Each structure stands twice: as C-alpha cells, then as structure tokens.
C-alpha cells in the first residue's frame, strides 16, 4: 500500500479535497480516500500541488506519428488534408518506430486511454503491446454514395483484424465532406446496435460550411485537384452538421471532433435533435492547422459539460501528444475557465465516452485510473 497526499486532491467525480490521503495498492488500484487525521503520518508521501486521475485522450491518430514536424503550420485544413493524403506513405519501420515513441510519450504524459483513429492496420501491434488502453476507431472515407456498402465491408474486415490482436474498436465516418449520408447511417446504425462509440470530425473550418451551403470553395478544389468527380454532391444550403445530423442513428454514441467554428446555436440545435452527442476539443491542432480556437466560453452556454472531452489529434498537427498541453492552451486562452471545470473533460468524460468509467477517469475506490502529480505548469506520473 502507498499513502499519497497533496495540497489538493481532485477525485473529479466529487469536489476537490484538502487534508485527505489517497490509499492505493501497489498496482495502482484505489483502496480508499481518507481524512489525514486517521492515517499514520509517517507513512504518507506528500506532494506539493495537485493529485489528479490519469488522462483520457478522446481523439488521436497514432498512425500519423511519423509526420511530426513535416507540415508547415496555419495553412488551413484543405491544404493540410492534401499534404496528409499525398505524403503519409513512408518506410514501414520508421512508421512503426514513430508510433512506439508516440505511445510511450503519451504514457509519460499521463494518458491512460486513447480513442485512436486508424485507416490501416499499421498501429495494431503497437497498441497490443502498450500499457495504454486503446479503443481504435476504424475510419471510413467514401464520399460517393455508391461506395457506401463496399466501404462498410472494408471497414469491418479491418475491425476483424483489430479484434485478432485482442483490441477493441468500432467504425467511424471521417468527416462531412468525405462520407455520404448513406455511409453515415450504415456506420452509426452498426455502432448503435453494438453499443459502441463512434465519432466524426465536424465544423472544422469556414471552408467546410461554404462547401455545404454553396458547393464552392477549397473543398471543391481539393476534389478537383485529386481528380475525383463529385457530380453526385448537391449543396444543402445548411451547415455540415445540420445536413448530416438526421443521418446519425439516434442511439449511436457520437463524438463530434474539433467544433472549431461551432456556435452556441449549432450546439443547441444539435443537442435538441440527438440525445447521445459528445464533443471533443483539440485546441493545439486547431491552432496548428487553422490558427484559431473554438469559442469555448460561448459554446459552454449550450454544450452539456458532462459530454465534453479533449483530444490531441495527431503529431502531423501537434507538437506533442499531451492532454495537459491541451488544457494549458484552454486555460491560457480563456482565463475565466478554471482547471476544476476542465478536469472532467480530460479524464472522466472521456472514460465515460469510451465506456471505461469502471476503471478510469476519477479517483474512486476500486478504480485503477493512474495518478498524476500536477505542480505549477508541469505534470508527472506517480503511477
């Protein structure tokens, strides 16, 4: 047993405490949280600062780890996508080595679980060997509605490979401009039937809105430059979220990722139409690609706080895979938002979204959530 105390302990599932001691087994399982008056003080390890549970990274792309530092910043999403598509191929050994390094970096940064997007099987062996729990999101891209059924079958065959590694996963559509409504329905129905989470990149840039409202702009040019005919696409005159939301299965636990340009009205309208929406902010990736942040204070007026999660996105669009760095970016940009307010975003909400709240996300008896020491602006892993 270890007896850990600190200036402040944040169980996350209940208000912060001072003058308490966390009793843990050697494997990290929490035995109890006791007032310090009932614990022999000679046994207590005291930490200046805060104790918090380990983090959950709700959105990552481990597969893109070899692209760290490859792309210039602030060039906009269509340009970024073009570069990822054209330059992601690399030597398989270098790709594997970069993923292993990124995985250990996430562990050192206090991350316990990751919702990780994959387009191929490259990351499966790294995940199978990792101390981190991964839920893999097999991501499908098929804008042409005639390709929906074939794309679903390809995704399911990749899911089978994933399961052979003993890993869990589910299908996700990539983004509104790269999947058909038919494919969104097929994927989300399958996830709803299986009781598994899904996600989609959403409301990332004004170019996305222009494409859906008018059918023009950089996304049309992106398809043209890639030599892909999109004659079947008709702009809806609405935002991407309004256009696609009716195609999401109403029971599918659906994470909307980025929300960079979302407004409180977008959120209000969406949550009134779909009761199982979850939200993910990846602020450092937004700064890297679009040089802007979601208007989080505005969104908090309508976004359910218990449904907000944080993600790092990939090393193609971030300098590190650290949920703490995502939190610091939010705290620095929006001084009215407190650490206490966003701790659940970084921990318990992500655990609930991934269905891991029995073991992760908060400092509660019986859980094994990882325990982190936060002191000034740095984070360290205790267990």
The Cα 39–Cα 50 span in angstroms is: 19
CA-to-CA separations, 208 to 45, 72, 201, 344, in angstroms, rounded: 52, 21, 11, 30
Q: Which is nearer to Zn ion, 2 or 88 (CB)?
A: 88
Q: Which is nearer to Zn ion, 207 or 313 (CB)?
A: 313
Q: What is the DSSP letter of 178?
A: T
Q: What is the DSSP letter of 375?
A: E
Q: Measured from the CB of residue 235, what is the shortest distance to Zn ion in angstroms?
A: 24
Note whether 313 binds Zn ion by CB under 5 A: yes
Candidates 88-96, 169-177, 224-232, 306-314: pick the segment binding Zn ion (CB under 5 A): 306-314
CA-to-CA separations, 241 to 128, 146, 166, 265, in angstroms, rounded: 34, 22, 34, 12
Q: Which is nearer to Zn ion, 290 or 313 (CB)?
A: 313
Q: Measured from the CB of residue 69, what is the shortest distance to Zn ion in angstroms?
A: 17
Tokens at 130, concatenated = 């990792």
Q: Which is nearer to Zn ion, 313 or 326 (CB)?
A: 313
Comparing every residue's Cβ against Zn ion, the nearest one is 313
The Cα 365–Cα 23 span in angstroms is: 9
Q: Measured from the CB of residue 286, what is the shortest distance to Zn ion in angstroms?
A: 11
Write each residue from 112 to 151 as x if it is in contact with Zn ion (CB under 5 A), else as -, in one continuous string.
----------------------------------------
Q: Measured from the CB of residue 318, what is the shortest distance to Zn ion in angstroms?
A: 10
The Cα 5–Cα 43 span in angstroms is: 10
Inter-residue contact 310 to 350 (CB < 8 Å)? yes
Any bridge partners for residue 278, and if so which?
255
For residue 373, what is the enclosing H or E element?
strand 371-375
Q: Measured from the CB of residue 280, what is the shortest distance to Zn ion in angstroms?
A: 9
Note whether 208 binds Zn ion by CB under 5 A: no
Q: Measured from the CB of residue 284, what is the shortest distance to Zn ion in angstroms?
A: 12
Q: How many residues does the chain have?
A: 383
Candidates 126-134, 237-245, 310-318, 371-379: pick the segment binding Zn ion (CB under 5 A): 310-318
The Cα 293–Cα 270 span in angstroms is: 20
Number of residues that bind Zn ion (CB under 5 A): 1
Any bridge partners for residue 135, and if so which?
115, 168
Q: Measured from the CB of residue 313, what is the shortest distance to Zn ion in angstroms?
A: 5
Candidates 24-32, 96-104, 169-177, 312-320: pick the segment binding Zn ion (CB under 5 A): 312-320
Q: Summarize as ranges the residues that interact with Zn ion (CB under 5 A).
A: 313
């Amino acid at each position: 047993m270890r007896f850990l105390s600190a200036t402040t302990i944040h169980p996350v599932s209940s208000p912060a405490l001072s003058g308490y001691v966390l009793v843990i087994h050697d494997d990290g399982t929490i035995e109890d949280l006791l007032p310090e008056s009932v614990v022999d003080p000679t046994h207590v390890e005291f930490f200046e600062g805060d104790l918090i549970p380990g983090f959950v990274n709700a959105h990552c792309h481990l597969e893109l780890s070899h692209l760290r530092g490859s792309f210039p910043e602030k060039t906009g999403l269509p340009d970024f996508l073009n570069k990822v598509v054209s330059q992601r191929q690399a030597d398989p050994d270098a790709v594997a080595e970069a993923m292993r390094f990124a995985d250990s970096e996430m562990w050192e940064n206090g991350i316990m679980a990751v919702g990780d997007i994959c387009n191929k099987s490259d990351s499966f062996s790294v995940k199978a060997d990792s101390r981190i729990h991964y839920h893999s999101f097999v991501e499908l891209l098929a804008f042409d509605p005639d390709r929906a059924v074939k794309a679903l079958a390809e995704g399911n065959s990749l899911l089978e490979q994933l399961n052979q590694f003993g890993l869990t996963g589910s299908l996700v559509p990539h983004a509104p401009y790269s999947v058909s409504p038919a494919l969104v329905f097929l994927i989300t129905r399958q996830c709803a039937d299986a009781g598994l989470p899904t996600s989609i990149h959403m409301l990332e840039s004004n170019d996305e809105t222009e494409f859906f409202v008018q059918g023009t702009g950089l996304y049309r040019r992106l398809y043209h430059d890639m030599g892909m005919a999109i004659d079947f696409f008709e702009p809806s005159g609405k935002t991407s979220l309004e256009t696609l939301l009716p195609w999401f299965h109403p029971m599918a636990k659906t994470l909307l990722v980025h929300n960079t340009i979302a407004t409180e009205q977008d959120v209000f309208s969406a949550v009134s139409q779909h009761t199982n929406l979850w939200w993910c902010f990846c602020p450092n990736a937004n700064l890297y690609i679009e040089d802007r942040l979601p208007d989080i204070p505005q969104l908090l007026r309508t976004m359910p706080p218990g449904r907000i999660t944080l993600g790092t996105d990939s090393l193609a669009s971030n300098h590190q895979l650290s949920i703490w760095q995502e939190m610091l970016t939010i705290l620095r940009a929006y001084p009215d938002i407190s650490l206490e307010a966003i701790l659940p975003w970084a921990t318990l909400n992500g655990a609930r979204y991934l269905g891991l709240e029995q073991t992760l996300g908060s400092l509660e008896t019986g859980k094994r959530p990882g325990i982190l020491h936060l002191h000034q602006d740095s984070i360290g892993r205790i267990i």
